[in-house]
Amino acid sequence: METVKQHAVHGGTLRYLKHDSATTGTSMTLSVFVPPGDGPFPVLIWLSGLTCTEDNFTTKAGAYAAAAEQGVIIVAPDTSPRGEGVADDPAYDLGQGAGFYVDATESPWAPHFRMESYVVEELIGLIDAEFPTTKARSISGHSMGGHGALTLALRHPHLFRSVSAFAPISSPTRCPWGEKAFTAYLGPDRETWDAHDAARLIEGGVGEGCYDDILIDQGDADPFLTEQLKPELLVQAGEAAGQTITLRMQPGYDHSYFFMASFIDDHVAFHAARLKD
């Protein structure tokens, strides 16, 4: 990986990096914060939401003071492949910036939009090879990235110690954002969609017994709460399957990074406790 720029922050080091991805067939970008000290350190992977790049969380979440204190590396990749020759759509909720953390099977998306494989196969290996990690890791994210964090943790529980999310798309098979993206990326057979729906996965017992708790923060003033996010479906699935889900409805908070910055320390501590046991 090539370091594009580097900053000192909270005693640690923040690097913006890029590399040629064998998975997506494109150049991919990410940021990596390494706390002060020699390590090795556990890793928290952060997945961002629609329209975001690796820069949104990096500059707006205010996570690095807590990460430095807890001794946790934080990795924030871009949300999709990009570049000339990569399929796109003029809408904000499809194409570049909207990878949905699935491996597309449909044209024209399939050649490059392989974000599930990128995160769980290529990115994890690169980080463990390039940085002083303990090879213990957790995952979190926001909105589309919250969906990604939940589904990747449930589908690949051997890779992650814990999972949390801010305002996740809880059941993409039952909301307009998810229905649009899954139709484009995965095709019209809705049965195939369930494998990428956190609420459906929990209902089906996927990841059963792997996570002692799943922490969800959701603002009650979020304009997408009722139509797109539907956290009650996660809670219902958890109750049916015996999976503990801690849903914290935060009064007055919306969908922005001001919301995440207000509670990110809790999430870093939540993961740190499980990464170091």
Q: How confident is the model at residue 180 (pLDDT cuts 50, 70, 90)?
A: very high
**CA triple 233-92-16, angle to 5 deg:** 95
pLDDT at 16 over 80: yes
Q: How confident is the model at residue 102 (pLDDT cuts 50, 70, 90)?
A: very high
pLDDT at 277 over 90: no
Q: How far apart are CA 146 and CA 152, in angstroms?
A: 10
Residues 108-142 pLDDT 10s: 999 999 999 999 999 999 999 999 999 999 999 99
Written as six digits, the tokens of 105 are 């099977």
Half-sphere exposure of 1 (CA within 13 A, CB side): 24
pLDDT of residue 200: 98
pLDDT of residue 28: 98
pLDDT of residue 105: 98
Q: What is the mean pLDDT of the chain?
A: 97
Residues assigned a catalytic role: 143, 222, 255
Q: How confident is the model at residue 99 (pLDDT cuts 50, 70, 90)?
A: very high
Across 59-80, average pLDDT: 98
Residues 143-179 pLDDT 10s: 999 999 999 999 999 999 999 999 999 999 999 999 9
Q: How far apart are CA 182 and CA 102, in angstroms?
A: 9
Alpha-carbon distances of 16 from 65, 232, 248, rounded to whole Å: 18, 36, 32
Residue 246's H or E segment, with its range, is: strand 245-250
pLDDT of residue 198: 98
- pTM exceeds 0.85, yes or no: yes
Residue 70's H or E segment, with its range, is: helix 64-70
pLDDT of residue 49: 98
Q: How far apart are CA 162 and CA 149, in angstroms?
A: 10
**Residue 12 identity (one-letter amino acid):** G
pLDDT of residue 138: 98
